[in-house]
Chains A and B, each alone.
Chain A
Amino acid sequence: MADQTLPIPGTLEEAHRPARMLEWLHSWVVTVDHKKLGILYIVYSIFFLLVAGAEAMAIRIQLAIPHNHFVSPELYNELFTMHGTTMVFLVGMPILFGFANYLVPLMIGARDMAFPRLNAFSFWLTAFGGLMLYFSFIGGFGSYGMGNAPDVGWFAYAPLTAKAFSPGHSTDYWALSLIVSGFGTLGTAINIIATALCMRCKGMTLMRMPLFVWLLTVVSAMTLVTITPLTAAQVMLLIDRYLGGHFFDAQAGGSPIVWLHFFWIFGHPEVYVLVLPAFAIANEIIPVFSRKAIFGYPAMVAASVGIGFVSLTVWAHHMFTVGMTAVSNSFFVLSTMLVGIPTGIKIFNWLATLWGGKIRFATPMLFAVGFLFQFLIAGLTGIMLSVAPWDWQLHNSYFVIAHFHYVLVGAIVFCIFAAIYFWYPKATGRMMSETLGKWHFWIFLIGFHITFDTMHFLGILGMPRSIFTYEPDRGWNTLNMIISLGGFVQAIGVLIFAWNLIYSYFKGKEAGNDPWDAWTLEWSTPSPPPAYNFAVDPVVRSRRPLWDIKHPQDPDWKYER
């Protein structure tokens, strides 16, 4: 402190120091700026990603060898319940809404979301919902008289959730925190729809909106439809548990099947709620790194809206083993297979976008390419599972676990990583390290395939999900060990990523406004964008306003359909 001129304790300078820190924190707590809220969402999700990842590691240690005693059966059940619940509700949804929050106003040339205060309110509801869920580890009262987290599976099938089978409060924590974070989700969904519909800058018609914004709008509309039955089911569950209701109580005329319908009419569209934003990210990244406009923009919009509608009709493919009639089973086979058509169109359009391009393999593109292959495989195993008789074998086996991790990790997490590498320079003004990024990509990719490719075989060999241990004579030992090792390889990749996030924030290369030579409006602002984004409201004439500026002789609006 060479420049310290007043070495007397208690002077202004000293007194200011904690106050500045407080002010900084205060500015994040009271903010209604969509960019700050977006970053809050993303940081919150990355934190829970690490937590739920640690839970997954504990699960994999337990399963590495048969008859292992690393965790008790009770703790194991809590771990897989919390891993699933966290990844879906506290990682998947918030991080995608974080990107939506940050990017939608920037991409459509708006100065903020339509309802900034609702935006802040929604974030804090989601945040406290998550904290309440985790408080159950210390505040819950379970059957063993100590802190107890939910242990009924993330699907929480009735009647296992009834008071008789789940005494204590762990299930209440699960239901209540999902209701709370669900309200937050609804608020954000309303906000995104209102923003996309009402806040677009001059010249940006709906058919000139970036695909990212289109897909997030579809997702938000789906969220409004699907979170509602989940919340209703949670309320019914709590009425059953505390007010003498019998919605799911078979002994008093209720039906556990009702829970299944309510849960899966939420649960399946939820998969698309998570995967459409991943498509949205791929739709922005693949064209930029192929140096080409997205192929078949109108078809991409139509396919996304189509997926949104069809996905609302497929829920009972989670219930092929519940004992529906052959006609009902056939109906849900057909509706599920139909989703494959718009999804196939998307993959073909991405392929056509790559075709004839000049593909640059920067880290965001590497992750997007990983996404393309893994999503192709996930889609095909999805077709296998939609074949009801085969599903009678594969349902609730490790094949299903492999399939949905291919979707959730292989597609969604890969796209989230791609998005972070892609937009980090915009949000922080600094590039992430390419060297660390490539290490992260390759290690994570290898770990991913060791773990989740192997899991398919385990399911085919008859290993069911949700089991805390298995018999040593079933031929599952080696495969389980391989899967666990792959899990640790992935963990190393994620740690490199976390280090890259921190390191690049301080030491990263200066990014400038437009480091990727991209075409949407967010890249026309400084990095990071100033408060209220645009000093002058932009005017656009095509889907790629920055292309038009960069190529005045050959602008998009001359060719777009």
Chain B
Amino acid sequence: MSMRQRRTPFSNLFCPTLIFGLCLSAASAFADGPQAVPSILAPASTPAYEIFGLSLFVLLITGTIFVTVGGLLAYALIKFRARGDDDMRQEPAQVYGSVQVELAWTVIPVLIVVVLFLTTARIIFAVQDAPKPKSALDVTVIGHQFWWEFRYPTLGIVTANELHIPVSSKWHPAPTYLKLLSADVDHSFWVPQLGGKTDLIPNHPNEMWLDPQSPGLYLGQCAQFCGVEHAKMLIRVYVDTPEQFEAWARNQQKPGVQDEAVAAGRQIFDTEACMNCHTVSGTVARGTFGPDLTHLMSRATIASGAVENTPDNLRAWIKDPDQFKPGALMPAMQLSDQQIDQLVAYLTTLH
């Protein structure tokens, strides 16, 4: 466990409440890194840790209330049930109320609320108003129907759907600060292992931060209904070691590969409608409506995580985007098979 983890004010409560967490986690373990199930019980970044600790504390309190009140209810129902040999004409003693008793059970909830509120407020401020270190990386996230655009203003990188960020540690804190914008409707950025969600709302910039502690691939998806293909607006966050991240960034900063062997495909890209929506830096294609394709082949998936990025899937996608994602805003361009082959040949050179 790193120091960042240990700083959470509730770490001393972990042991007694661990059992609650275990009961809850149907399929997830407390993995120390990324896992296939995007569970909020497997936090891997400080905001997620803070929330997890707080949630165990709240669970302990609400669990106690449930056992107490639920137990009393069950006891009353069993103890005071009408029995077969009761004389039902004989009514039980009528009690209309008791000021002392009622006062007591008003004061107890008030005290519980005070405790819950203070602990909650503390975590709200700890996460929301955390000071931003100088070493932080800035990324602008722009939500589109139905894909993610990622811009790294300090590195001059534009990419889509797969976010690369560096791993962070106590000795080399490298948190990533996301500035959240929207190009059309409301979306919400949610990668459960890395932190809570924050909405992307037009003309209302939001901010959130992540500092993942172990490298790997973290999964999430859009969490605010945004239209037909809301379900296929998936998020992949690659947490890279510093070396991996630097190598990735260096590659992304290069202009698009210019391979003369696939000139015919590039010609189609630059003369058909492709270039209106997509950018390949270093060429005339400068559209911004769709994802930047300069380094398309550096991504594992297309269509915002809907399918794997293979030449076959690319071909199928260009021929009929509705096949994977009915309602996606990319039109079927009615290209001939030969044109599609040439286009895919070009796209697969864009490493």
Binding site for B on A (CB under 8 A): 72-74, 77, 151-153, 155, 157-160, 165, 250-251, 255-257, 290-293, 295-299, 321-323, 325-326, 329-330, 333-334, 337-338, 340-341, 344-345, 347-349, 351-352, 354-361, 369, 372-373, 376-377, 380-381, 383-384, 387-397, 457, 460-462, 464-471, 473-476, 479, 551, 554, 556, 559-561
* Ranked 10 nearest A-B pairs via Cβ: A392-B196, A462-B38, A250-B203, A467-B231, A250-B202, A475-B37, A323-B206, A466-B225, A296-B97, A462-B192
Q: How far is the CA of A462 from the CA of B222 in the complex (A)?
A: 11
A164 CB, nearest partner CB in chain B, Å: 8
Q: How far is the CA of A545 from the CA of B73 in the complex (A)?
A: 29
Max chain B C-beta neighbours (<10 A), residue from A337, A461, A471:
A461
**New A-B contacts (7) at CB < 8 Å, excluding given A380-B65, A462-B40:** A256-B204, A299-B102, A321-B188, A323-B201, A325-B128, A389-B124, A462-B219
A251:B202 contact, CB within 8 angstroms: yes
Chain B residues near A348: list those with CB within 8 A.
69, 102, 105
> Is B116 in the interface zone, CB < 8 Å from A?
yes
Max chain A C-beta neighbours (<10 A), residue from B39, B95, B220:
B95
Given A160-B186, A165-B185, is A354 in contact with B26 using a C-beta cutoff of 8 Å? no
Q: How far is the CA of A290 from the CA of B226 in the complex (A)?
A: 50
Q: How far is the CA of A465 from the CA of B72 in the complex (A)?
A: 35
Chain B residues near A338: list those with CB within 8 A.
113
A362 CB, nearest partner CB in chain B, Å: 10
Chain B residues near A355: list those with CB within 8 A.
76, 80
B109:A344 contact, CB within 8 angstroms: yes
Interface size on B, residues (CB 8 A): 94
Chain A residues near B88: list those with CB within 8 A.
358, 360
B113:A337 contact, CB within 8 angstroms: yes
A384:B58 contact, CB within 8 angstroms: yes
B204:A475 contact, CB within 8 angstroms: no
Chain A residues near B24: list those with CB within 8 A.
457, 460
A393:B62 contact, CB within 8 angstroms: no
A326:B128 contact, CB within 8 angstroms: yes
A255:B95 contact, CB within 8 angstroms: no
A49 CB, nearest partner CB in chain B, Å: 24
Closest B residue by C-beta to A353: B95
Q: How far is the CA of A283 from the CA of B76 in the complex (A)?
A: 17
Task: From the candidates B73, B94, B128, B180, name the one contacting A376 in the complex (CB within 8 A).
Answer: B73
Task: From the candidates B120, B129, B230, name the one contacting A387 in the complex (CB within 8 A).
Answer: B120
Task: From the candidates B98, B192, B199, B228, name the one contacting A323 in the complex (CB within 8 A).
Answer: B199
B245 CB, nearest partner CB in chain A, Å: 25
Chain B residues near A468: list those with CB within 8 A.
230-231
Closest B residue by C-beta to A324: B128
Chain A residues near B226: list those with CB within 8 A.
160
B19 CB, nearest partner CB in chain A, Å: 16
Given A293-B95, A329-B128, A333-B120, is A389 in contact with B192 using a C-beta cutoff of 8 Å? no
Chain A residues near B201: list those with CB within 8 A.
250, 256-257, 322-323
Chain B residues near A256: list those with CB within 8 A.
186, 201-204
Within 8 A of A (CB), among B120-164: 120-121, 123-125, 127-129, 145
B185:A474 contact, CB within 8 angstroms: no
Q: How far is the CA of A298 from the CA of B101 in the complex (A)?
A: 14
B160 CB, nearest partner CB in chain A, Å: 18
Would you mind naming 10 contact pairs between A and B with Cβ atoms under 8 Å apart?
A77-B228, A157-B224, A322-B204, A322-B206, A323-B199, A348-B105, A377-B66, A389-B127, A468-B230, A559-B94
Task: From the candidates A337, A376, A462, name the one contacting B220 in the complex (CB within 8 A).
Answer: A462
Q: How far is the CA of A272 from the CA of B28 in the complex (A)?
A: 35
Within 8 A of A (CB), among B212-269: 219-231, 234
B224:A396 contact, CB within 8 angstroms: yes
Chain A residues near B12: list those with CB within 8 A.
none
> Is B197 in the interface zone, CB < 8 Å from A?
yes
Closest B residue by C-beta to A473: B36
Q: How far is the CA of A377 from the CA of B59 in the complex (A)?
A: 12
Given A326-B125, A326-B128, A387-B58, is A354 in contact with B77 using a C-beta cutoff of 8 Å? yes
B327:A73 contact, CB within 8 angstroms: yes
Chain A residues near B117: list those with CB within 8 A.
330, 333-334, 337
Q: How far is the CA of A476 from the CA of B196 in the complex (A)?
A: 19
B113:A359 contact, CB within 8 angstroms: no
A396:B202 contact, CB within 8 angstroms: no
Q: How far is the CA of A210 from the CA of B197 in the complex (A)?
A: 45
A372:B81 contact, CB within 8 angstroms: no
